[in-house]
Amino acid sequence: MNVVQKVETQTAEAQRMYSDLPRPPVFATVKEERLHRKQRLAGAFRLFSKFGFDEGVVGHITARDPEFTDTFWVNPFGLHFSLIKVSDLIRVDHTGKVVEGGRPVNAAAFAIHSRIHAARPDSVGAAHAHSTHGRAFAALGRKLAPISQDVCAFYNDHALYEDYGGVAVELDEGQRIAEALGSCKAAILQNHGLLTVGNTVDEAAWWFITMERSCQVQLLAEAAAAKTGQSLRMITKEAAEQAEEHVLGTEGNWKMRRDRQGQENQHGRHSEICEIEKVIGLFVGDARLHDEQGERHHLACGLRRSGE
């Protein structure tokens, strides 16, 4: 059931209010940019662990290397998310060879993320994990419905991969997932879990977190509707599109996104991504990772260190 909703376009005042949001950092050297991406990656793993996205040895987040762009940094196989630090990360090429680091790579991480990064040169970060509500919703074999403002971030911008063929350890499975994802920022992998991409590691991590929450909200709403006999009230197409533009527009994120005419527009950064970036910063610790004496900084959260 749809409800009548008032749709308002973004005003100049609203645009002005969000004009001073933080911007992506600028780096003097590729070495600095690489370290920053690795720091954010290590912090994102700690954050995923805090959210409980760390069951067994499944799940992986990757960051494209800024210099050798056909390679990416990823967690080594078998190391718990809560323990990962920058020096644990390994760099893998698109053939599955570990070109930097001394630990093995998760075969599924290579199969999925190598194809994603190859198909999506705009993606710096990609995240996949077997989160509880994501797995539950993925078993339904359908996309998220526009039932809340927050889920409108994914309106017409997430895909459904229906061809589950077992553990994704083969490149052809990863290629099919990449093709299903297309130009979207997220995908629901049926009988599997969730997958998100972003122009930064922070962005990919945030889309995953909010998509997991959106799955949880819809599962709860549908359970309540079934109990009461009521139907869910859907947001109208016009309102959902307006909400999406607000999330991705002046309140948007760092990434370059294609509009409906196929052109690219640079948008501001979503205020909530700003917050997730700050949270990841807590898990990274000081951006330098070392103090003047070379000692490692302790994380404010009390977990183990995420620096080198």
Domain count, the chain: 1
What would the 3-class secondary structure string for the chain be? CECCCCCCCCCHHHHHHCCCCCCCCCCCCHHHHHHHHHHHHHHHHHHHHHHCCCCCCCCEEEEECCCCCCEEEECECCCCHHHCCHHHCEEEECCCCEEECCCCECHHHHHHHHHHHHHCCCCCEEEEECCHHHHHHHCCCCCCCCCCCHHHHHCCCEEEECCCCCCCCCHHHHHHHHHHHCCCCEEEECCCEEEEEECCHHHHHHHHHHHHHHHHHHHHHHHHHHHHCCCCCECCHHHHHHHHHHHHCCCECCCEEECCCCCEEECCCEHHHHHHHHHHHHHHCCCCCECCCCCECCCCCCCCCCCC
**Residues 155, 171: Cα–Cα separation, whole Å:** 29
**Residues 65, 68: Cα–Cα separation, whole Å:** 5
Mind listing the pLDDT tens digit for each residue in 225-264? 999 999 999 999 999 998 887 776 433 454 433 333 333 3
**Which residues constitute the domain of residue 29?**
25-255+262-284
Domain annotation covers residue 10: no
Domain annotation covers residue 1: no
Q: What pLDDT sits at residue 30?
A: 97
pLDDT in tens, the chain (308 residues): 454 455 555 556 666 666 666 777 899 999 999 999 999 999 999 999 999 999 888 899 999 999 999 999 999 999 999 999 999 999 999 889 999 999 999 888 888 999 999 999 999 999 999 999 999 999 999 999 999 999 999 999 999 999 887 776 678 889 999 999 999 999 999 999 999 999 999 999 999 999 999 999 999 999 999 999 999 999 999 999 988 877 764 334 544 333 333 333 333 334 444 555 655 665 565 333 333 333 333 333 333 344 44
Domain annotation covers residue 275: yes
Domain annotation covers residue 159: yes
| Under 8 Å between Cβ of 308 and 85 | yes
Q: What pLDDT sits at residue 9?
A: 52
Domain annotation covers residue 169: yes
Residue 89, domain CATH: 3.40.225.10
**Residues 263, 58: Cα–Cα separation, whole Å:** 36
Q: How many CA atoms lie within 13 A of 266 on its CB side?
A: 3
Domain annotation covers residue 183: yes
- In this structure, which long-range contacts are made by residues 266-270, counting pairs with CB atoms below 8 Å and at least 24 apart in sequence? 268/18, 268/19, 268/21, 269/21, 269/22, 269/23, 269/24, 270/206
Q: What pLDDT sits at residue 285?
A: 52
Domain annotation covers residue 7: no
Distance of CA 106 to the CA centre of its chain: 19
| Under 8 Å between Cβ of 114 and 101 | no
Q: What pLDDT sits at residue 193?
A: 95
Domain annotation covers residue 91: yes
Q: What pLDDT sits at residue 189?
A: 97
**Residues 148, 126: Cα–Cα separation, whole Å:** 25
